[in-house]
Amino acid sequence: MSRICIVVEFTPKPGCFEAFHAHISAHAKATLAEEPGCERFDVMRVLDEGGQPDGRTIMLVEVYKDMDAVVAHRANPRMPIVGEGSKPLLDGRKLSICSID
């Protein structure tokens, strides 16, 4: 079975960038600690062409050992809490699930 990568691009609401960054970083740390199927969970600040944080976009790259690990991640009882905590901080989200060949 292929490893699975989840890539998420978030657009925090104006004034919510740092709060969302802290919120999603705590989620990343907990996921790595709690879920053996999660191999990597990076939280990234998007940079502008000059190499400075754009202050508008946060991206995640998550790597799981297989689709069963993704299913287990989605079933983690913490996920609804993360979702509810994210809603008031976000204007948008784009999620892509990819196989790593």
* Position 1 pLDDT exceeds 80: no
pLDDT of residue 54: 93
Burial 58-77 (b: 16+ CB within 10 A, else e): bebebbbbeeebbebbeebe
What integer best gives the mean pLDDT of the chain?
A: 97
| pLDDT score, position 18 | 96
Cα(72)–Cα(74) distance, rounded to whole angstroms? 5
**Fold assignment, 3-100:** Alpha-Beta Plaits (3.30.70)
Find the mean pLDDT for residues 68-85. Answer: 97
> Which tens digits make up the pLDDT trace of 14-53?
999 999 999 999 999 999 999 999 999 999 999 999 999 9
Per domain, the residue ranges of the chain are: 3-100
Residue 101 pLDDT greater than 90, yes or no? no
